[in-house]
């Protein structure tokens, strides 16, 4: 369970987990007829790095090609746009303009969109942060030109950044799915069929609606 993406997982003051990922994991455990243990990590990179440690069997992560070297992904279940925030006086107007010489971008280390930017940027440079909250601090201190993030999180953060604005467009669409360590053929096959059933039945869309998550969209078959 990755607390770094609040669109999927939130933890209340008592330590209880809730959200779309919790619903999905409970449904998976119910289908398998096994007990569920939720292992909590602060950031998605920590989840991916622990894939060979045996501490977890299945996770929900952004589907990303560098992670696919050690993880096997189910079909995508959801999509979220990733975009940028800039200061009001920035000359940048659209996400397509950000990859330019001299532009610095704050992004959390090993987040799905940071991994994407690391492989796709040709001119701009990334300032890698501990998490999205740290990215906000770095941007607020004017240490970078641009703040990268999932659009729902960016829009929620605008009230903390009164002299900033969201650029039009996006630099990618992030898809999430179930992830398991590679080499588990039976689990791969099960998750392929499980996700198809979840999407066909509307389970994912209902969970998103139940938790009132804006900006997270269930995919359709």
Residue 155 lies in a domain: yes
pLDDT per position as a tens digit, 130-153 = 999 999 999 999 999 999 999 999
Q: What is the pLDDT of residue 171?
A: 97
Q: What is the mean pLDDT of residues 201-219?
A: 96
Give me the pLDDT at residue 220, please.
87
pLDDT of 198 > 90? The answer is yes
Task: Note whether 89 and 110 are within 8 A (CB).
Answer: no
One domain, residues 69 and 87: no
- CATH number, domain containing residue 182: 3.40.190.10
- Are residues 69 and 132 both part of a single domain? no
Q: Is the pLDDT of residue 221 over 80?
A: no
> Smallest Cα–Cα separation from 116: which of 88, 159, 144, 150?
150
Average pLDDT over residues 57-66: 94
Query: What dihedral angle (degrees, nearest 10) is formed by the CA atoms of 114, 116, 121, 124?
Result: -10
Residue 195 in any domain: the answer is yes
Distance of alpha carbon 172 from alpha carbon 156, whole angstroms: 19
105 and 60 in a common domain: no
Burial class (CB in 10 A: 0-12, 13-18, 19+), 77: buried
Question: Residues near 159 by Cβ (< 8 Å), separated by ≥ 6?
Answer: none
Q: Are 82 and 216 within 8 A, CB to CB?
A: no
pTM: 0.88
Q: Are residues 74 and 179 in the same domain?
A: yes
- What is the number of domains present in the chain? 2
Domain extent, residue 167, equals: 81-172
103 and 34 assigned to the same domain: no
Instruction: State percent of the chain over pLDDT 90.
Output: 96
Domain co-membership, 92 together with 158: yes
pLDDT for 172 equals: 96
Does the residue 1 lie in any domain? no
């Amino acid at each position: 369970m990755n607390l770094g993406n609040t669109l999927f997982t939130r933890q209340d003051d008592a330590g209880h987990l809730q959200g779309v990922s919790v619903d999905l994991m409970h449904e998976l455990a119910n289908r398998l007829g096994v007990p569920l243990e939720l292992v909590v990590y602060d950031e998605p990179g920590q989840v991916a790095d622990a894939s060979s440690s045996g501490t977890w069997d299945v996770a929900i992560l952004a589907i990303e090609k560098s992670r696919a070297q050690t993880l096997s992904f189910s079909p995508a279940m959801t999509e979220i746009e990733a975009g940028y925030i800039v200061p009001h006086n920035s000359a940048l107007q659209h996400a397509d303009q950000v990859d330019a010489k001299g532009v610095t971008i704050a992004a959390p280390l090993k987040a799905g969109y940071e991994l994407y930017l690391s492989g796709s940027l040709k001119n701009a440079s990334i300032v890698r942060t501990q998490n999205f909250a740290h990215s906000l601090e770095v941007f607020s201190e004017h240490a970078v030109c641009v703040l990268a993030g999932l659009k729902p999180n960016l829009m929620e953060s605008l009230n903390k950044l009164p002299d900033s604005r969201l650029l039009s467009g996006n630099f990618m669409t992030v898809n999430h799915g179930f992830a398991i360590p590679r080499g588990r053929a039976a689990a791969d096959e099960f998750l392929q069929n499980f996700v198809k059933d979840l999407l066909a039945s509307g389970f994912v869309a209902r969970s998103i609606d139940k938790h009132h998550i804006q900006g997270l969209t269930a995919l359709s078959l």
